[in-house]
Structure 1
Amino acid sequence: MDGSRALSTPQAYSIAALRTLVRSGRIRIPQFQRSFRWEHRDVISLIDSVLRGYPIGSLLLWQREAEADDLLIGALRLRAEARTDALWVVDGQQRITSLVNVVDPVAGANPPFAVGYSLKDREVVPLRSNSQALVIPLPDLFDFSRALAWLSDNPDASEHAAHIQEVAGRLNTASVPATVMEEADEEVLREVFDRINNRGRLLSSAEIFNAIHTRPAMGLTTSLIAAHIDDATSFGVLADKIIVQAILVRRHPDISREAKEIQAEFSDSWRTVTDFPEETEQEALEGAQSALIKAVRFLQQRCSVPHAALLSFRFQLLISTRFFALFPDPDQRNLELLSRWLWRTSAGADQLRISGSQADLRAMASCLVAGEESDSVQRLLARAKLPDSPRSPDLSVFRATRSDSKLILAAQWNRGPVDVRTGEPITVEQLREHLDGEMTPSAVVADLVPVAELEQGAPIAAAKVFAVVDQREVMAGLPELGDGALSSLLLNRDVVALMQDNRFIEAVEARARMLNSYLEDFIAARTAWDQEDTPPLTDYVVGDPEVGA
């Protein structure tokens, strides 16, 4: 044991005190902190614990000097002056970030910090973009004057005034324990941090990239990129790992960089082998964000993939990102061919022996070469050449994590499924709202019949329908829909009548016939497996004909 020691002092902070420390620039996030962004449900769980008086763990802070810097803590952006008594967060980054953001009127409007309290259900809930009856936003609950203004604007909540005061009191008096360490060098803090976090678990490549290459002072981070993409497209908040993979694959086909290579990503030696040798770190982040947004819009508008949770394979997004990075304004014919490639890799995954592995990604990313747009697309198509017609998915199996189940849902999305309450098509914004924090599409899928009533081997996938309400509301709304609205859900009045008569097996079998027929037509059209994949006609034009020849 060496002589390394540290002086520590116990403290306790209210949420208001933490907010003041953050806004004053005294709280800082050190660069060796591992990158981890909480989802909506994590933030809700934290606030629920605070209101219930449950312990939320102790913070570990390191007091030392800090230079002037531009900080981004959650959705809070601020300029911090140099100071000698800054508190660097060693453990508790997400707790501090969540607590100070959810009570801020501006930051609290951004996911995942948009949180409210349901006076009806007496629980912490996600704050939706549309109005919610008897749900008071956390910033209004935290501030007494704002709470009074909210009550004035929501007279139906007046009977809950006493409860609002009680819950607001709990929120304002909550105390977060902390230990402040002094007289410790950075190596000691790294050791403490590693011992706290899984006994020094090795950081993943995504975490290493974040720690080294994305700093709030740069103006753009992987978390911000994910938020910007979701804001622009409603595609869902992509995980930091996916953002980092997109940054890497945009620059080079092989994303399986070793830690030392990621640390040297923008060094002179590595630049020479990337597709963007002259760009800075910030330009790489900006370029990845731009390419990702174009890739997502391509998936939504041309490929019937409205949300990340419905994407069959992650590599499809990453390959599309590299494509739009190298070819930002592609020929329309190549976009059509790229869409065919995506659907062939989805529908023909088994025939092509595609598993979504890193090897699959590397092989396909290598097909995309700068300056060779059409040839790149042709190489991708060669990688996805089907020997015969792609098989329709097995309807007797449905799990929201499976690529073929996601294919079934994406195909149904192409029909413009309606919200049974309104008869209007479900929007991508509704999907985003209901899939917030979800990794699979389960939250927007309802059972048409009780699954327990079906026999083993029944086409269970035919019992699944797009819905933003529960099964009870689906069954109540279906009889009121017109023929066109029912057709958007791959239903008709005969099937609805069978369900109403509790003839569940017959109903599912009837819908299975409709679904099978539709899937065969849809997959044949989208894969165009039996059609010529000729490149754009403009590729055959050598030059302008001579005038007057």
Structure 2
Amino acid sequence: MNASLDTRPVATMFDVETLVNQAWAGMIRVPHFQRDFRWHRSDVSKLFDSIVRGYPVGSLLLWRKPAVAKILTLGDLRIDAPQTQAALWVVDGQQRITSLANALHPDVSDARFLLAYDLRARQFVPTPPVEEPTIIPLPVLFNLTKVLSWFGSHPEAVEHVEHANEITQRLRQFPIPAYEVVHDDTKVLQDIFDRMNNYGKRLSRAEIFSALFAGEEDEKDVALTFDKIAQNIDDDLGFGLIDNDTVLQSVLARRGPDTKREIRNEFREGEAPERSYHSARAIIEFPDEDRETAYRLAEEAMRRAVQFLQNEASVPHYSFLPYRHLLVVLTRLFAHHPKPDERNLRLLRRWFWRAAVVGPEAFKGSTTGAIRFLSFAVKPDDLTGSLETLLSLVDRPDSPLPDLRRFRSNEAATKMVLCSWWQRGPRSLEDGEPFDIDDLSATLQDRQTALDAVRYVVPRRLVPPEYRMWAANRVLMPVLFKDVGAVEDLIIGAPLIADPDEWADPPVWPEALASHEITPEMVEQLRGGDTVGFLRLRQGALQRRLTDFLSSRCEWGFENTPPLDQLLVEDLEEDDELA
């Protein structure tokens, strides 16, 4: 039988004053399997508004157990917490407790917690930068002595003193119900945490998975997490930060093809290892792994997948990736087949770009169906068969190309366009030097779209409405200019463009322009004020560039034959059978 609580939870009640003082004293701790603080200032304000109105704010679930002495971080607070045998660990209620402890503390500077009470409007407002007599900051309002001192300093607001005292009393004495649990097994509390958040759908699947398999409290600083995996890959490869849900799916895809399987049974402890096993109808291909091993090997497979994207598929950054599920499938493939030869890499590149052009809509269930079919196509012991099946699933040469009349950096079609621009090798319009992944990484950092690396050629307001969404008015230029304005300044006003003779090396000028599919003729149109003529001419050039790029990557109509050595092996097997 699974572990259960030895004693029933104790129902108790905390007033806000007691709860906040406990937090400030370091007696309230946040378990490492909890998510970070996610509330905005509006959420914090609503909490205090509910308190003064007497509305219920929900109950807390607290886990009473020992805690070591350490410096705690609670929102914006840094607390020197002592060792104790009876700390209260927050299983449910972290956002509320963090909000109360921070908004009522006098030394907090985080804008989310800087709230005050407007005595005239009778509502909570952001703390004004200049002190106003009838707007009292919450740390003042929470302390009766400070409230009296406030009105002594602001006699013009004395007519509101009674209301202020009433609000102070409501804040300090507001009761919050809580359940206290006493249990030594961390997994029981993680299970409770999971059930509470799963039923309410308040956490993402990645957050729930992290909570379920968080390990012990003392492993927090050394164990791999989804955030650390993403950060490690970005630090080493400059790929940007992969989101947690994609990392989770990649971890799951490496271990088994069904990424939507029941995650609570992912790791089995204390059982004999097998080649594979079926858990709730899900195939687990690495049943003997612990969590840390699974995370480490998943990171290695993701790293190989990212290197393939950057080096073979012309996808330099995560924000250029047309569909996230393609990285998940690549992670599974590189986990089982870490070193494909040159021919198989070409077939894999062919599959990747065909899958991007076809899109997930070609599969029943869209993205969910695509990731399922594609993941199941990857067989652990058969790279050739895996690639043949993958290619057969996206063999749709009549799929439409991205529409250059709609440029949106968060859409898959535009990301494919950006990849075609990157493969062209865009150069700086200041010195003619080609941009590299380091330039792109420095410009985009952790952005989820490539918008910060894209500039306008002509200010949008000067373009007729029907042309404003066209790709022709954008250039891929991942560099932070001293004059952060429209790229019009760089093409028309900058001496480098206005007068090519001023370039240190004149022949590099047409090369730099050509890397952005801009010809001297187009520049002359801009100089002459023919914006529409420029856009039409460049749009045609970009369309040809995109068509050539996708044609060379998708290779529609090519035979999907395996490497020669594999064909020879098959022929020998046939000869043996005939003999």
Structure 1 length as normaliser, TM-score? 0.68
Q: State the match for 1:425 in structure 2.
A: 434
What is the aligned counterpart of 1:532 among 559, 567, 570?
Answer: 559
Residues 71-115 of structure 1: CA distance to partner in whole angstroms, max 9, x if unpaired?
A: 9989xxxxx997425463555579989x99xxxxxxxxxxxxxxx
Contact 1:314–1:356 under 8 Å retained in 2: no
Q: State the match for 2:414 in structure 1.
A: 405
The residue type paired with residue 265 of structure 1 is E
Contact 1:368–1:376 under 8 Å retained in 2: yes
The residue type paired with residue 372 of structure 2 is R
Q: State the match for 1:336 in structure 2.
A: 346
Judging changes above 3 Å, is the alpha-carbon distance between structure 1 residues 175 and 342 closer, same or farther for their aligned structure 2 residues?
Answer: farther
Judging changes above 3 Å, is the alpha-carbon distance between structure 1 residues 239 and 498 closer, same or farther for their aligned structure 2 residues?
Answer: same
Q: State the match for 1:210 in structure 2.
A: 210
How far did residue 358 of structure 1 move? Answer: 0.8
Judging changes above 3 Å, is the alpha-carbon distance between structure 1 residues 202 and 181 closer, same or farther for their aligned structure 2 residues?
Answer: closer
How far did residue 70 of structure 1 move? Answer: 11
What does 1:58-457 correspond to in 2, within 5 Å? 64-66=64-66, 83-86=84-87, 88-89=89-90, 91=93, 184-186=179-181, 200-215=200-215, 217=219, 219-257=223-261, 261-267=262-268, 270=278, 273-349=283-359, 352=362, 357-388=367-398, 391-452=400-461, 453-454=463-464, 456=466
Contact 1:63–1:181 under 8 Å retained in 2: no
The residue type paired with residue 226 of structure 2 is T
Aligned mates of 2:367, 2:83 — CA distance in 1: 46
Gaps of 5+ in 2: 1-8, 49-59, 75-80, 103-108, 112-136, 143-170, 184-188, 272-276, 498-508, 573-579
How far did residue 488 of structure 1 move? Answer: 1.3
Q: State the match for 1:5 in structure 2.
A: 12
Contact 1:392–1:516 under 8 Å retained in 2: no
Aligned mates of 1:368, 1:350 — CA distance in 2: 17
How far did residue 226 of structure 1 move? Answer: 1.5
How far did residue 324 of structure 1 move? Answer: 0.7
What is the aligned counterpart of 1:474 among 477, 487, 503?
Answer: 487
Q: Secondary structure at the match of 1:285?
A: helix
Aligned mates of 2:390, 2:336 — CA distance in 1: 14
Q: Secondary structure at the match of 1:254?
A: coil
Judging changes above 3 Å, is the alpha-carbon distance between structure 1 residues 256 and 512 closer, same or farther for their aligned structure 2 residues?
Answer: same
RMSD across aligned C-alpha pairs, in angstroms?
Answer: 4.7
Structure with max Cα Rg: 2
- Higher mean alpha-carbon deviation, 534-543 vs 2-11, is at 2-11
Contact 2:13–2:176 under 8 Å retained in 1: yes
How far did residue 417 of structure 1 move? Answer: 1.4
Aligned mates of 1:393, 1:265 — CA distance in 2: 39
Judging changes above 3 Å, is the alpha-carbon distance between structure 1 residues 192 and 368 closer, same or farther for their aligned structure 2 residues?
Answer: closer
Residues 346-388 of structure 1: CA distance to partner in whole angstroms, max 9, x if unpaired?
A: 2233995698511111001010011111111111111111345
Contact 2:29–2:87 under 8 Å retained in 1: yes
What is the aligned counterpart of 2:528 among 501, 520, 545?
Answer: 501
How far did residue 281 of structure 1 move? Answer: 1.3
Q: Secondary structure at the match of 2:284?
A: coil
Residues 480-516 of structure 1: CA distance to partner in whole angstroms, max 9, x if unpaired?
A: 1511111111112221232233311001111112111
- Higher mean alpha-carbon deviation, 248-257 vs 430-439, is at 430-439
Residues 444-495 of structure 1: CA distance to partner in whole angstroms, max 9, x if unpaired?
A: 2222123452352687122121124577352233351511111111112221
Contact 1:345–1:354 under 8 Å retained in 2: no
- Higher mean alpha-carbon deviation, 271-280 vs 467-476, is at 467-476
Q: State the match for 1:489 in structure 2.
A: 516
Q: Secondary structure at the match of 1:185?
A: strand
Aligned mates of 1:399, 1:460 — CA distance in 2: 9
Structure 2 length as normaliser, TM-score? 0.65
Aligned mates of 2:242, 2:198 — CA distance in 1: 25
The residue type paired with residue 4 of structure 1 is A
Contact 1:29–1:88 under 8 Å retained in 2: yes
The residue type paired with residue 539 of structure 2 is A
Aligned mates of 2:535, 2:365 — CA distance in 1: 30
Aligned mates of 1:191, 1:406 — CA distance in 2: 40
Residues 260-302 of structure 1: CA distance to partner in whole angstroms, max 9, x if unpaired?
A: x211111366569312122111111111111111111111111
Equivalent pairs, count? 447
Q: Secondary structure at the match of 2:89?
A: strand
The residue type paired with residue 407 of structure 1 is M
Judging changes above 3 Å, is the alpha-carbon distance between structure 1 residues 239 and 190 closer, same or farther for their aligned structure 2 residues?
Answer: same
Contact 2:298–2:331 under 8 Å retained in 1: yes
- Higher mean alpha-carbon deviation, 86-95 vs 370-379, is at 86-95
Identity between Structure 1 and Structure 2 (%)? 30
**Highest relative contact order (Cα 8 Å, sep 6+), 1 or 2?**
1
Aligned mates of 1:242, 1:207 — CA distance in 2: 12
Gaps of 5+ in 1: 75-79, 101-116, 118-122, 125-172
Aligned mates of 1:36, 1:253 — CA distance in 2: 30
Judging changes above 3 Å, is the alpha-carbon distance between structure 1 residues 10 and 70 closer, same or farther for their aligned structure 2 residues?
Answer: closer
How far did residue 249 of structure 1 move? Answer: 1.3
How far did residue 246 of structure 1 move? Answer: 0.9
Q: Secondary structure at the match of 2:485?
A: helix
Judging changes above 3 Å, is the alpha-carbon distance between structure 1 residues 351 and 292 closer, same or farther for their aligned structure 2 residues?
Answer: closer
Aligned mates of 1:70, 1:282 — CA distance in 2: 25
Contact 1:7–1:184 under 8 Å retained in 2: no
Aligned mates of 2:440, 2:197 — CA distance in 1: 35
How far did residue 57 of structure 1 move? Answer: 8.0
Contact 1:291–1:322 under 8 Å retained in 2: yes
How far did residue 337 of structure 1 move? Answer: 0.7
Q: Secondary structure at the match of 1:303?
A: coil
Contact 1:420–1:474 under 8 Å retained in 2: no
Contact 2:61–2:180 under 8 Å retained in 1: no
Aligned mates of 2:522, 2:334 — CA distance in 1: 44
